Amino acid sequence: MRLLLMFLDGSKCYFAASILTSLVLTALDMVNPQLIRYTVDTVIGSEPSSLPGFANGLFEAMGGVEVLRERLWIIAALIIGVALLAAVFRYLQRLSNTKAAETLVETVRNLLFSHIQRLPFAWHMKHKTGEVIQRCTSDVDTVKNFLSEQLTSILSIVIRVTFSLIVMYSMNAKLAAAATITLPFILLYSSLFGRSIGRHFKECDENEGALSAIVQENLTGVRVVRAFGREKYERDRFRKQNDKYTSLVLRLSRLMSAFWGMGDFISGVQVLIILSMGVVSSVNGEMTPGEFIAFMTYNAMLSWPIRRLGRMISEMSKASISIGRLNDILSSPVERDRENAGTPDMRGDIVFDDVSFAYEGCPELLSHISFTAKAGETVGILGGTGSGKSTLMYLLDRLYELPEDGSGGRITIGGVDIRDIKASHIRKNIGIVLQEPYLFSRTIAENIGITRPSLEMEEIRAAARVACLDETVTGFAEGYETFVGERGVTLSGGQKQRTAIARMLTAKTPIMVFDDALSAVDAETDAAIRRELNTRLGDSTVFLISHRTSTLKSADVILVLDHGRIVERGSHEELMAIGNGIYRRIYEIQTSGSEESGAAKSGSEEEVSE
């Protein structure tokens, strides 16, 4: 209920209008059966009027029964007028209900998107994108349909049923009792079916999410699928999940068919009983023809709302599953700053003080890491895959949090613990270029200037020149207005990395992180970018993570990580002086590889000249 009230924020007035017009519509629907009854029994027949006093007074003002008997078109006009008025209110009810439903959807989507944006990075790593999208679309629609089609009509149904029963019992208690005897059975089987429907719907919903995840992964990873010839494998994987989902939907459909079939059968039996008993009562003189016609009309008005109540129970089972799945997202704790978190100057020394860290359910990745990056200094980080290089930067950017109890050490900037700094302030002042940068489906200019919407084109081009990208982009037919595909699929790996570097440079942050950001560019471009960066970085503190020692050799200090520990530290010259050090071995391997490559290239050129 708390969640529903939150969802209804902004659409309550529309739902109230929908309920109000629905009540008026219900009252209007009750009028015509009484007019028909009066016409058949009193105007055409000779029975005394059964209408309320104000209605009799109205007809007397028109000339009484004799005039109406000669001018039946007056009653026909009244019936048509009531029907037209009901049509107007039916239109208003649908209009207000639709506005309420769409406003509800808008509110829920805004709530979900806003909440997801503030969820920790770790949450996103544990949830598949396709499943989250499915919850934000299919489950939201289920909740909308329940609220707009079922819940809003409950008051109208209750009033309609109550009024119909009162009128029916006043007309013929025996027939009314026969009409209501099936109601407990309808509500009972609806309740029993509702539980089973909810369980099966949850299975369908979860498997639809799994199917959406497969589609999303394949669409975003289409190049990898094609490159490794895995089309058949992915088709079979999709078909298997699709078959499973289809079988679950068919099982749910069979259950729903049995539910509605049983409802139709019970309703049909009830109508047959009322029809038979009503005919007998009319023949025996216990009911007038007009009463019988009106009674059958009210019975029809009674049976459908009762079935709607039954359907509401089954739909409630679906909605409760969807609300639960949405609540899983909205109840997930968002990132929170400490109560007195501030926005200090970010140009101070960065200190990692005895930092240890492990991902949830995994062994310790970083163990007792301690070092200081002085303001304006360039720190190089070298290490094998899984040594914790990127994790260090994720912790610095507070994408992952150190334990609050201090057992994982602490990280300070300018002497201030980063947990005492607002996360938004940290991320605004730390620029990161990842090894696999993410580009949005926009133009190159928009991707570069996304950090500062007010950027002029000259500033964008200046950043691109530093990243050695300007010449490449100007060679494109549409230049900086070139539209890059999803995740930048139309650009090469090196072009994407250089675009990401330019994007980060436009932010002009005091702390810059290059997480293997030059791995996809050739050595010559790597050197050119580093030369440009050295002239552009100014007093920014820079972290260079790379597997290339040539990229790191100009750093003020280089850290060598091995199995989550710092095993070597110092400048290029100091590390080269270590006899059998890791850095020196890697440098010599890479250098000898480059020399052999150069020699091979020279030899092939000589052969060509000969």
**pLDDT < 50: residue spans in the chain:** 595-610
The tens digit of pLDDT for each residue in 558-584 reads: 999 988 899 999 999 999 988 788 999
Give domain 2-330's CATH superfamily.
ABC transporter type 1, transmembrane domain (1.20.1560.10)
Domain with CATH 3.40.50.300 in the chain: 350-580
CA distance 166 to 557: 89
CA dihedral 162, 164, 167, 168 (to 10 degrees): -110
Position 502, amino acid: A
Domain with CATH 1.20.1560.10 in the chain: 2-330
Question: What pLDDT score was predicted for residue 234?
Answer: 86
DSSP annotation of 334: P
Average pLDDT taken over every residue of the chain: 82
CATH class, range 350-580: alpha beta
Question: What pLDDT score was predicted for residue 610?
Answer: 33
Are 341 and 18 in contact by the 8 Å Cβ rule? The answer is no
Bridge partners of 544, per DSSP, are 380, 514
Are 179 and 270 in contact by the 8 Å Cβ rule? The answer is yes
| CB proximity list for 330: less than 8 A, separation 6 or greater | 3, 111, 112, 115
Position 149, amino acid: E
Question: What pLDDT score was predicted for residue 165?
Answer: 80
CA distance 104 to 255: 29
| CB proximity list for 108: less than 8 A, separation 6 or greater | 7, 140, 143, 144, 326
Question: What pLDDT score was predicted for residue 354?
Answer: 93
Question: What pLDDT score was predicted for residue 212?
Answer: 82
CA distance 392 to 404: 17
Question: What pLDDT score was predicted for residue 560?
Answer: 93
CA distance 68 to 70: 5
pTM for the structure as a whole: 0.69
Are 128 and 269 in contact by the 8 Å Cβ rule? The answer is no
